[in-house]
Chain A
Amino acid sequence: MRNKISRRDVLKASAALAAGTVFASPARAAAPEPVAITSDLVAAATKEGKLVFYSSMDLPVGEKLGKAFEAAYPGITVQIERSGSERLFQRVAQEFDSNIHTADVVNSADASHFIRWKKSGWLMPFVPDDVAKHFPDNYRDPDGMAVTTRLWLSSIAYNTNLVKAEDAPKSFADLLDPKWMGKMVKGHPAYSGTIMTTTFQIVRELGWPYLEKLSKQRVMQVQSSTDPPKKLALGERAVMADGNEYGIVLLKEAGQPVEPVYPTEGTPTISGPTGIFATAPHPNGAKLFQAWLHTRKTQQFFVDFTGQHSVHAQVQPKAGRRKLSDIKLMKEDPASVEAMTEEIKTRYARLFRV
Chain B
Amino acid sequence: MTVTTTTSPTPRPRIDWTRPVLWLFAAVLFLLILLPLSWLAVFAFTDKNRHPTLANFVTLFSNPDFLDPLLTTAIIATTSALICCIVAAPISWLVSRTDMPGRQTIRALVTASFVTPPFLGAVAWELLAAPNSGLLNQLYRLFAGEDADALFNIYSMTGIIFVISCYTFPFVFVLVANALDTMPGELEDASAILGGNAWTTARRVTIPLALPALVAGALIAFLQAMTLFGSPAILALPAGFHTMTTKIWSLFQYPPKLELAAAAAVPLLVLTILLLQGQKALLGRRGYSVIGGKYGAPRRVELRGWRWAALGFCFLVLLNPVFLPYLALLNAAFSPNATTLVTPSTATLHNIVFVFTELSSTQLALKNTVILGTATATIGTVLALVIAYVTTRKVIAGHRALGFLATAPVAVPGIVLGVGLFLSYTRPPFVLYGTLWILLLAFLTINLPSAYQQLQAAFATIHPELEEASRILGATRLQALRQITAPLLRTGVIATWCFIFIGVMRELSAAIVLFTSQTKVLSVLIYDLNEGGDLAAIAVLGIAMLVITFAVVLAVNQIPISGGNAGAKLRNG
**Partner-B contacts on A (CB < 8 A):** 52, 54, 58-60, 63-64, 66-67, 77-84, 86, 89-91, 93-95, 97-100, 102-103, 190-191, 218-224, 226-228, 230-231, 233-237, 256, 342, 345, 349-350, 352-354
Contact = CB atoms under 8 A, between A and B. Distances in A.
Given A220-B238, A234-B338, A191 B254 contact: no
Interface string B386-430: 000000000000000000000000000000000000000010000
B254 A90 contact: yes
B291 to A, nearest CB: 51
A102 B518 contact: yes
B358 A60 contact: yes
B527 to A, nearest CB: 10
A60 B354 contact: yes
A58 B354 CA distance: 13
B169 to A, nearest CB: 28
Nearest to A234: B133
B324 to A, nearest CB: 18
Interface stretch (B186-194, B277-285, B453-461, B528-536): B528-536
Contacts of A91: 516-517
Nearest to A113: B254
Given A86-B253, A91-B517, 17 more contacts: A52-B518, A59-B534, A60-B354, A66-B360, A77-B360, A82-B528, A83-B528, A86-B254, A93-B254, A93-B256, A226-B532, A231-B133, A236-B130, A342-B255, A349-B250, A353-B242, A354-B236
Interface of B: 65, 130-133, 155, 236-242, 246, 250, 252-256, 337-339, 354, 358-361, 364, 426, 431, 433-434, 516-518, 528-529, 531-535, 537
A233 B132 CA distance: 11
A120 B54 CA distance: 32
A345 B253 contact: yes
A342 B256 CA distance: 12
B59 to A, nearest CB: 14
Given A59-B529, A90-B253, A220-B238, A79 B133 contact: no
Contacts of A218: 240
A232 B86 CA distance: 38
B361 to A, nearest CB: 7
The 8 closest A-B pairs by CB, nearest first: A227-B533, A90-B254, A100-B434, A230-B533, A234-B133, A236-B133, A223-B531, A81-B517
B351 to A, nearest CB: 10
Contact of B359 (A59, A94, A231, A354): A59
A337 to B, nearest CB: 14
A256 B339 CA distance: 13
B254 A89 contact: yes
Contacts of A95: 434, 516
A64 B433 contact: no
B549 to A, nearest CB: 24
Nearest to B237: A354
Contact of B532 (A67, A82, A90): A82
Contacts of A80: 360-361
Nearest to A93: B254
B337 A237 contact: no
Contact of A64 (B132, B238, B254, B358): B358
B360 A233 contact: no
Given A60-B358, A64-B358, A79-B360, A231 B433 contact: no
A54 B533 contact: no
Task: Count chain A CB atoms within 10 A of each CB in B239, B338, B358, B364 and give the residue with the most.
Answer: B358
A67 B360 CA distance: 9
Given A80-B361, A233-B337, A354-B241, A59 B254 contact: no
A103 B254 CA distance: 18
Nearest to B132: A236
Nearest to B426: A98
Contacts of B434: 95, 98, 100, 102
A215 to B, nearest CB: 9
A59 B534 CA distance: 8
A29 to B, nearest CB: 29
B533 A94 contact: no
Given A77-B360, A98-B434, A226-B532, A90 B256 contact: yes
Given A59-B534, A234-B339, A352 B240 contact: yes
A89 B155 CA distance: 28
Contacts of B337: 233-234, 256
B358 A67 contact: yes
B361 A354 contact: no
A219 B253 CA distance: 22
Contacts of B534: 59-60, 230
Contacts of A236: 130-133, 339
Contact of A220 (B155, B253, B339): B155
Contacts of B241: 353-354
A92 B131 CA distance: 36
A354 B364 contact: no
Nearest to B535: A230
A319 to B, nearest CB: 26
A235 B531 contact: no
Contacts of B242: 353-354
A190 B253 contact: yes
Nearest to B434: A100
A248 B437 CA distance: 42
A285 to B, nearest CB: 14
A315 B140 CA distance: 49
A223 B237 contact: yes
A177 B534 CA distance: 30
Contact of B531 (A81, A90, A98, A227): A227
Nearest to A97: B426
A13 to B, nearest CB: 31
Contacts of A228: 533
Nearest to A64: B358
Contacts of B253: 86, 90, 190, 345
Contacts of B132: 234-237
21 contacts: A52-B518, A54-B517, A59-B359, A60-B534, A77-B360, A82-B361, A83-B531, A90-B252, A90-B253, A93-B254, A94-B256, A103-B517, A221-B238, A221-B240, A226-B533, A227-B531, A230-B534, A234-B339, A235-B132, A353-B240, A354-B241
